[in-house]
Amino acid sequence: MNLKIAVLPGDGIGPEISKQGVDVMSAVCKKFGHTVSYKYAICGADAIDKVGDPFPQETYEICRDADAVLFSAVGDPKFDNDPTAKVRPEQGLLAMRKQLGLFANIRPVETFKCLVHKSPLRAELVEGADFICIRELTGGMYFGEKYQDDDKAYDTNAYTRPEIERILKVAFEYAMKRRRHLTVVDKANVLASSRLWRKIAQEMAPKYPEVETDFMYVDNAAMRMIQDPKFFDVMVTENTFGDILTDEGSVISGSMGLLPSASTGESTPVFEPIHGSWPQAKGLNIANPLAQILSVAMLFEYFDLKEEGKLIREAVNASLDANVRTPEIQVEGGAKYGTKEVGQWIVDYISKA
């Protein structure tokens, strides 16, 4: 297979973890006889500094013309600490999602047996947890009408029936492939937009009789994820709730540096780690590259290259079992490995497999 990949390293630790993802992808392609070509593009704070736009037209065109996008992270403290800034790195991420029509964000949450102790939750709660959060990505408050002055501000949480139906269809289809349990998360007791979500979900559920469909308010879902994460199989929700819940889910695995994601929809799919740019760690060679590398596994699996994805997952698990880990998940007294060393170990494992 010939793969054309757009690579968006972005800001902070992005370029460091991006390189590891690209190296792993190249190693897998060499192993399985695929050809791969890369086109690099700027985004986020890096793009603002260079051209004044966090998602310039040239970057969009590179993404549009690729088979897939390998994205890393955007964000910079100089924008975070300036509430008056009119242009922000995160606007580039939103623009990418909107312009590529990426309405479905797929975030698997799973545990690694050797890292259960790293979760702040008790081992018996998290061991064996394995669920998928499906987040609507191009609607809601992030894209609704906005206003701000010195005394008043608002964000509009708007959704239409077609937007809700298409994301629920994705969720039901994922549930059919897994344990056939779908939890629709909303706030229908308060929000009109949530009541429309629930109404449409109730209309669609009979089309999937094999799927057990239940409904949960977002505050209850947040609590249930901590109390009983193994309850969930597939969870679907709107943009803002999904953003919060999926980050909460990272504590189940023990580190945000372990969780990948895919964003799919009308155009080129994007694969990325769920964590941010962690600018404080930039250049220190301490960032965990595993979420980026597992995003590469999801990329291969998207194209039905299952053996390729399986080998990456095997290599990641082997690295963890061998205590080849970055500092935040290393065992006490374990050898010191940085971003580059972990990435290289996984590349070597794949090459020798």
Contact 239, 156 (CB under 8 A): no
Contact 96, 272 (CB under 8 A): no
DSSP string spanning 265-316? SSS--EEEESS---GGGTTSS-S--HHHHHHHHHHHHHTT-HHHHHHHHHHH
Catalytic residues: 142, 187, 219, 243, 247
Q: How far apart, in Å, do the first and last CA atoms of the chain sit?
A: 20
List the Cα angle 192/197/199 in 5-degree steps: 95
- Helix intervals (H) in the chain: 14-32, 44-51, 57-64, 77-80, 89-99, 123-126, 161-177, 192-204, 218-227, 239-253, 290-302, 306-321, 339-352
